[in-house]
Structure formats: structure tokens, C-alpha cells
Structure 1
């Protein structure tokens, strides 16, 4: 990891959810398999469940783009049902206590909050899912805002981040995330990008263009302390 001495201390930090704060696969994969079981039972899908690697490679994408890749050519009613099932089953998994944040997430967010950094979520996920993670893992008191593509109907994370920055009069922020969409969102909004390289999915080349890459979430604290 590079040091943070070349970075400017931000007014705010914006965090992706899946693969950055939240160990998505702890609830995603069971929900994914159950979703296809129900779709088959309801006659909305025929055939084997697509491989786990496909859904994991889609994390960070907009939901409509995910289903285009997972079940190309599916009828709209199948996609709509799959959306609802996947959301409900993941929230059920979280409520059952099977989900996890990455190590050191809460301690690091608490430290940054105590330093006066304004903290936000910026995710391409569904509103109920993103807010469910925040609620169940008790992050609400640390966050000034939770932005999801599902709630704001943005076409890209670039647009979502622009909306967040404008709504909260933020001129200096760090975009913290693990996918190319996070890098693009930070760069195209002229903000610093901290790439996260500790999830087991995704291609590390997706983080090309990041100002700094971290391999553990708690390294963010050191970067902030060293920033000017």
C-alpha cells in the first residue's frame, strides 16, 4: 500500500457496499441458489442455476445489467420475480445473522466519524438491500447518507456520486470501492479513489486508475492520518 502523504484530507468518504464494507457472498450465494429453486418451482425458469462465478463477477453492476448477464433473454416477469426473491432472501439471511462485514469495518468507520469525516454509502444495489445491510449491522449512526441506484434510479455510479456530492455540498471526498464503477465514479467526479483489493471476486485490473489501493479496510485509517 502506498502512503497517504500525497493525499488531501477529505471532507467526506463515500463507500461502495458489496466487496468493500460487506462480505456479500455470506448472504448472496445461499439467496442466489434459493432464488433459482423458487423460479423453477413457479415455472419461470428452466435449467440449471448459472454458476456462482457469474453472479459474483457482476457485483457492483446495476441490477438490470446483472440479470442480462446471469439469465440473458429472460422475460421481464422472470427478472422482476428474481429481483424480489433475491432481495427478500438476502435480507432474511442478514436477519438470521449469517452475514458479515469485512474485518475492521466498524472500528475504522467509527474512528473516521470521530475525526469529523462525513461518511456516506454509494451503491449500485437495491434500496431495501443496501439499507438492510446498514440497519442490521448498525451503521446508521455513523452515516450521513445512504445512496443506492435502486432508490435514486441513477443510470450509473458516476451519476449517483454526482448527486450525492451536489446534495451535500461536498467538494473534497474519497471514493472507496472495489470495482471499476467505483474508480470511474471517483475519477469522473474529480475525487480521490481508494481501491479495495481484498474481496475474492473481480479482476484487480478493475482498480486501475485508483490513487491508492488498500488490501485491508483498516489501512484507510493510516491513509487518513497521513493525508495533508
Structure 2
């Protein structure tokens, strides 16, 4: 049975930074037009919390606003993100296609597990044709707990995997790997934090390094399965 290699999306496969600032600026300009915002766009605050589920994002960015206003912001932000993806303003990280192709050719099963919303994730997958390598993309929307560990567990149970790795840039990805008995591969990219990456089994600075990592991980996991 093949092993599961589960990738995060934002800050791991997709350079969210390319469309983040403009989409967030559009959203807060929209709130301003509704007389719901009169300050600068809190882009730095968003970068600090990047990777958490969107409901938590709006709680942090709009702590004094109503749930209704947060929902308006969430809906408009998602719309702008998707439009910017479709307009080609986003970008994958270097070597994504080469690495996904290599991993699939070496008989690993590839999945995406993200805190992003389904519509947003599907826009990225479709635009960059990632589905030629990725078996299925999972959104945090699909589970009630909004916990990345539970999302990864959903993948393992659905496809009957017991070995593999989670590749991501944040602590939630690392914990999701550990909570499910998988190897954790940290990506030192745009939103990564050094203190979080210290908890990963391995850290890469470029996805191309995964071509060396996964055969080693596969061997280690095979040995562990015999114990």
C-alpha cells in the first residue's frame, strides 16, 4: 500500500503572499465603503496569524465588529482571492510541479490538506492543473472541529493509509503529522516561524529537497512497520 504525502497549500505549494495583500486591501476598502472600517489594512497582523482557519482570521482582524460584518468580509475576501487566482496573479512555489510529478512517479499518494476554503483551494488546483498529481484536496470546511490533525486523520481513514508525511510551513501541519503518526516536513518559506519549525522532523528551504527526503522517509517508515 502506498504512503500518503499530505501537503498544506498556503505558504507550502502556493505563494499566497502574491495575492494576499491586494485581496486584503480590496476587502478593507470594501468595508470602508460600508463605513465599517477607517484604518489602514491590517496586512502585518494577517501575516502573523496566517494559516489559521478564516473564522479565526476575522475574529483577530475585526475583534470589535459583529459576526455579520465578519461574514461580509470573509465572503468578499474569498471572492477577491479567487478572482486574483483566475487572473494569474498568484504563483506556485518553485519546483512544485517537478516535485509532485516525482513523488507520484515513485508510488506515493498525494493529498492536500488546508485551512483554506474549498472554493479557494479548488480555484488553485484547477488553475495550475494540480489534480494530475493530487488524488484529492481536503478543506478544513469538511470537518466540524476546524482542527488540522482531524483533517489529516480524515484522509488517512478514507484512503486507508498508515504511513507517510505531512509537508507544511506552520505548527498546525507539524502537529497534524505527529498526532497521526506521520513524519513532519517543515517548509522554511514566507509564513514559517523558526520556533515552530524546530518541532519538525526535517526542514526544507526549497521543495526540490523533497526528492531526497521522501525515499529516505519511505525506507524509515518501512523499517518501523516491521517492528
- Using structure 1 for the length normalisation, give the TM-score: 0.91
Q: Secondary structure at the match of 1:144?
A: strand
| Alignment length (residue pairs) | 218
* Partner residue of 1:90 out of 70, 81, 86: 81
Q: Which residue of 1 aligns with 2:193?
A: 203
Does residue 14 (structure 1) correspond to residue 44 (structure 2)? The answer is no
Is the CA contact 2:153–2:180 (under 8 Å) kept in the aligned structure 1?
Answer: yes
Separation of aligned partners in 1, 2:101 and 2:13: 13
Greater displacement, 152-161 / 89-98: 152-161
Match of 1:218 in 2: 208
1:141 to 108, 121, 132: 132
Who is 2:21 aligned against? Answer: 29
Cα gap change, 1:133 to 1:153, in 2 (>3 Å): farther
2-structure distance, mates of 1:156, 1:225: 29
Of residues 99-108 and 48-57 in structure 1, the stretch that sits farther from structure 2 once superposed is 48-57
Alignment of 1:39 with 2:39, yes or no, is: no
Contact kept? 2:165, 2:182, Cα under 8 Å:
yes
Deviation at 1:42, TM superposition (A): 2.1
Unpaired stretches in structure 1, ≥5 consecutive residues: 1-9
Cα deviation, 1:89-146, whole Å, max 9, x if unaligned, reads 0111111111100000111001111111100000011111111111111101211111
Q: In the TM superposition, what is the alpha-carbon distance from 1:222 to its structure 2 partner?
A: 0.9
Give the superposition deviation at 1:23. Answer: 0.3
Choose which of 41, 49, 57 in structure 2 pairs with 1:66.
57
- Report which of the two has the higher share of helix: 2
1:127-206 correspondence runs (5 A): 127-199=118-190, 201-206=191-196
| Runs of 5+ unmatched residues, structure 2 | 220-227
Tell me the TM-score normalised to structure 2 length: 0.91
* 1:117 correspondence with 2:108: yes
> Once superposed, what is the RMSD of the aligned Cα atoms?
1.5
| Distance (Å, rounded) in 2 between the aligned partners of 1:190 and 1:116 | 20
